[in-house]
A and B are shown apart, each in its own frame.
Chain A
Amino acid sequence: MHIMEGFLATPWWQLWFAVSIPAILYGIYKMNRLVKEKREILPLLAVAGAFIFVLSALKLPSVNGSCSHPTGTGIAAIIFGPAISAVLGTIVLLYQALFLAHGGLTTLGANVFSMGIVGPLVAYLIYKAGMRANLNFYAVVFLATAFGDWTTYLITTAELALAYPASDVLTLGGFLSSFKKFALIFAVTQAPLAIMEGAVSALLFKYVVNVKSDILVEMKVIEASVARKLRGTPA
Chain B
Amino acid sequence: MSRKLELIVLAIILIFAAQFIYMSSTTDAEYAGADGEAEGVINDITGGTYKPIAEPFWEPPSGEIESLLFGLQAAIGAGILGYFFGYYRAKKNL
Chain A positions near chain B (C-beta within 8 angstroms): 1-10, 13, 43-44, 46-47, 49-59, 61, 63-68, 92, 95-102, 104-106, 138, 160, 164-166, 178, 181-182, 185-186, 189-190, 192, 195-196, 199-200, 202-203, 206-207, 210-212, 232
Check B31–A196 contact: CB distance below 8 A. no
Asked whether, in the complex, the Cβ of B41 is within 8 Å of the Cβ of A98, the reply is no
User: 1/0 per residue B47-78: CB within 8 Å of A?
Assistant: 00010111111111000001001110110111
Cross-interface CB contact of B54 among A105, A160, A196, cutoff 8 Å: A105
Take A185-B37, A202-B9 as given contacts and tell me if A100 and B74 are in contact as well, using a CB distance cutoff of 8 Å. no
Q: How many residue pairs, one in A and one in B, have C-beta atoms under 8 Å apart?
A: 175
Q: Are B77 and A51 in contact (CB under 8 A)?
A: yes
Q: Which of B12, B34, B39, B45 contacts A181 (CB 8 A)?
A: B45
A79–B23 CA distance with the chains assembled, in angstroms: 37
Q: What are 6 A-to-B residue pairs whose CB atoms are below 8 Å?
A: A1-B34, A51-B81, A68-B34, A164-B45, A164-B46, A199-B13
Q: How large is the interface on B (under 10, 10 to 19, 20 to 34, 35 or more residues)?
A: 35 or more
Q: In the complex, are the beta carbons of B12 and A207 less than 8 A apart? A: no
CB of B54 within 8 A of CB of A106, answer: yes
B24 touches A61 (CB 8 A): yes
A100-B60 in contact (CB<8A): yes
A211 CA to B27 CA, complexed, in Å: 45
B3 to chain A, nearest CB (A): 10
Could you say which residues of chain B place their CB within 8 Å of the CB of A56? 73
Pair B38/A160 contact, Cβ less than 8 Å: yes
Q: Are A67 and B31 in contact (CB under 8 A)?
A: yes
Instruction: Enumerate chain A residues within 8 angstroms of B71, measured Cβ to Cβ.
Output: 57
Contact B85 A100 (CB under 8 A): no
Residues of B within 8 A of A59 (CB): 33, 70
Contacts of A5 in B (CB 8 A): 52, 54-56
Kindly list chain B residues whose C-beta atoms are within 8 Å of the C-beta of A58.
70, 74
